[in-house]
Amino acid sequence: MPVYIRKGPLEIPPGSEKDWANEEQEEDYFLRDPEQSRDSLPQPYRMIAKVVELLIDQAVEMISVRQQIREAEKRKAKVTVLQPASKIHVSKRVNCMAFGGSYLFAGLSEGLSVYSVTERDWICGWEASKVEVCSLSVCQAQEQVFFLSTVDDMGIARLFYFSDENLSFLKTFNEPEDISKRTNCINFQLSQGGDYAAILLEGVEDTCLEVYKLHKEIWSKELESSQAALPTLVAPTSDIQTSSVPTMTDPKITQPALLMRLRPPRPLGGSIFRNVQEAVQKNEDSSVFGTGQNHLINSQQWDQQDAIFMGMFEKYLRLDVPSSEDGRMSRNTMFHFLQYNKVLHSNSDQMNTGLPNAIIVHWDSCQNHLIYLLGKQTKDKTDGDIKADVVWPCAAPITSSAVSSCSTYFAFGLEDETLTVWDVKHSGFPLGVVVLPEGRSIGSLYFMDHITPNGHPPAVPRAQVLVWCTDRSLYLVTAAGGQESSLVLLHDSAASTDDLISAVVPVSSLPHGVILFYRNGMVKLLDVAERQPICHFGLPWPYTVTFPWQPVYVLDAMKHCLFLKGNENGVTGENLTTDNSSCTLFAFSLETMVKTQQSAVLPPHSSHWEDRCKLLFQTRLQTFPERRKQIAESWSLLRKQASDFTRSNTLSR
């Protein structure tokens, strides 16, 4: 078979210049849609498409220009500076403040003082040398009756009773007999209505939570009789008055009843049971989840699992993990009083009472919420090994939590930067789960509670939570269920320490208002919906905010009033002193801001679904005679139509 071989080298013939494509054609070729060659529009539709694209480009350009102009106008706009309406001069150093009705309570360097909010006058006080009150909270127990919980600089918790413009000292909870065995009070809270008190105590190697029952009805009678027996005292010239009401050493005053003493769960260790039957018999019932203490894994198996885990993930465990500067065992321990809700299987009648029913606590480095009912009887109140009534497990250790003022919503942040919001009162289901950006650890949570005129719940559950991160950045989380959850950055952590936020105060009387304190001394009211400042709070010269990195303030949302502590600087600009010097409390009125910010149209509200079902059934029963009459008329009309139809068919045949 002959083979034909082409002579000469094999070369690619050079292309002509007319076949070369310019750069614009190459770009058009690579940017062209592959389907465009087959879907090219004929005229005149091709020209219409070009005109539409040109109009869209021009519209986008005009929108961007207008947006830039609008942002420039916002930057040029001057923010209103709100001046104080009045002031109160205090001869002692004020460390903390709290509102109660029409009274202002101030924690001083040597006791307490009570002032009238309307008259700005001193009413009464309690004086004690070397007792510097650092924390103060007030709750209204009855009409014109208030309980005061205080914690001093030594970590000692005290309880006071205020009624009829008289301040009475009731009890010291953790006063040590031996200084080496002293326990510090980390947190002291009173339940809404003043029925219960909870104190978080921390010792050298022990942490516990004590819950007390307060006898407010008995105390009112005992203190009225004791005050009637006292001689009439002449008001002193100073603004501090020593309390002369009998203390808890007087047998006439009943002591608070200790309900339970709770301690953190023990770390998981080796099993103490020999078989499954012993572990099952240890449980009193199987109605709730447990904390994992009753298991059958022995110590040797724990050690083997730890060795296997360390061998597999040793290179990942060597990563640098930021350690906490706070060495307290109760660093992330928080507790809250809960009212009747769906999580506790309460009915609508119980939830409408508004009484506290349980206390929820999460300990440091713990992944479980532990809920304890307050009305039950415990076998041993002081053993600290009380079984929780409800165990609420989470996917990661809990760092912070918060309960809304109406006890409807419950939010908690986890160590993996996840925030979860629950509707615990009405539905018992989560409203949303939001993950924060990487590196933004959750520090504190604040609910944006809006006070409605009728107090009814909204028709659609919706919660807004302010998330204050450990790096001082601030986020707004909106949880409304499903895909409606959102995360908005309100303030980013700046490089300068003067621009960092030092305190966050939501204003419940404003729909979207929050007061922010900055380390440079600036205080402003921010609208979180528009992310624009409403006003700044300014102090008259030469006063400045005292210690702006830890300001002293109090907000009364019902009376629309903000009290802010200020100190007078020297003429030469000396720094603020830290001795027991006088200070001034400035009062700012938010009445005008509330009127301009509140919406004229009220949002739709509804009651609980069980109440709505009852109302529907009642309406159906009331209209039953009329509906029965209509049904009879409908049946008679149908019979007539059927007979007419039958007659017409017969005639047609």
Per-residue model confidence as pLDDT tens digits over 17-27 = 555 555 555 55
Coil, strand or helix at 56: helix
Is position 144 within any domain?
no
Q: What is the mean pLDDT of residues 203-214?
A: 88
Residue 379: predicted pLDDT: 60
**Cβ-based neighbours of 250, under 8 Å, separated by 6 or more:** 226
Is position 558 within any domain?
yes
Q: Which helix (H) or strand (E) holds 533?
A: strand 532-537
The answer to whether the beta carbons of residues 253 and 246 sit under 8 Å apart is yes
Residue range(s) defining the domain that contains residue 567:
497-572+583-599
Is position 400 within any domain?
no
Coil, strand or helix at 636: helix
Distance (Å, whole) CA 57 – CA 640:
68
Distance (Å, whole) CA 179 – CA 383:
23
Coil, strand or helix at 25: helix
pLDDT band for position 241 (cuts 50, 70, 90) = very low
Residues 324-377 pLDDT 10s: 445 555 678 899 998 877 777 666 666 666 678 889 999 988 888 899 988 776
In this structure, the chain runs to a length of 653
Q: Higher model confidence: residue 102 or residue 246?
A: 102
Residue 306 has pLDDT above 70, yes or no: yes
Q: What is the mean pLDDT of residues 430-447?
A: 90
Which tokens hold the place of 555?
């907000």
Residue 249: predicted pLDDT: 40
The answer to whether the beta carbons of residues 125 and 90 sit under 8 Å apart is no
Long-range residue pairs from 6-12, CB within 8 A, at least 24 positions apart, any chain: none
**Cβ-based neighbours of 543, under 8 Å, separated by 6 or more:** 566, 567, 568, 569, 584, 586
Residue 600: predicted pLDDT: 40
The percent of residues in the chain predicted with pLDDT above 70, rounded, is: 74
Residues 543-556 pLDDT 10s: 888 888 899 999 98
Half-sphere exposure of 140 (CA within 13 A, CB side): 9
Which tokens hold the place of 396?
């990661």
CATH number, domain of 559, equals 2.40.10
Angle between helices 624-652 and 609-622 (to 10 degrees): 60
Which tokens hold the place of 158?
């005290």
Residue 220: predicted pLDDT: 81
Residues 106-122 pLDDT 10s: 999 889 999 998 888 89
Residue 157: predicted pLDDT: 93
Q: What is the largest CA-CA distance in the chain?
A: 140
Residue 398: predicted pLDDT: 92
Is position 503 within any domain?
yes
Distance (Å, whole) CA 445 – CA 463:
12
Residue 248 has pLDDT above 70, yes or no: no
- Classify residue 560 by its DSSP letter: T
Residue 464 has pLDDT above 60, yes or no: yes
Residue 236 has pLDDT above 80, yes or no: no
How many domains does the chain contain in total? 1
- Classify residue 35 by its DSSP letter: G
Is position 8 within any domain?
no
Residues 79-101 pLDDT 10s: 788 888 888 898 888 999 999 88
Most confident of 1-5, 241-245, 386-390, 607-611: 386-390
Residue 520 has pLDDT above 50, yes or no: yes
Distance (Å, whole) CA 331 – CA 368:
16
Is position 206 within any domain?
no
Q: Higher model confidence: residue 178 or residue 536?
A: 536
Most confident of 156-170, 240-254, 312-326, 456-470: 156-170
pLDDT band for position 15 (cuts 50, 70, 90) = low
Half-sphere exposure of 456 (CA within 13 A, CB side): 14
The percent of residues in the chain predicted with pLDDT above 90, rounded, is: 22
Is position 625 within any domain?
no
pLDDT band for position 33 (cuts 50, 70, 90) = low
Which tokens hold the place of 202?
């921390």
Residue 198 has pLDDT above 90, yes or no: yes
Break the chain down into helix, strand, coil percent, rounded to 5: 25, 35, 45
Q: Write down the number of H helices and E strands in the chain.
A: 10, 34
Residue 246 has pLDDT above 50, yes or no: no
Most confident of 75-84, 168-177, 408-417: 408-417
The number of beta carbons lying within 10 Å of the beta carbon of residue 53 is: 10
Residues 142-169 pLDDT 10s: 888 899 999 998 889 999 999 888 888 8
DSSP of 395-419, one letter per residue? SS-EEEEEE-TTS-EEEEEETTSEE
Residue 350: predicted pLDDT: 62
Is position 363 within any domain?
no
Most confident of 39-43, 103-107, 506-510: 103-107
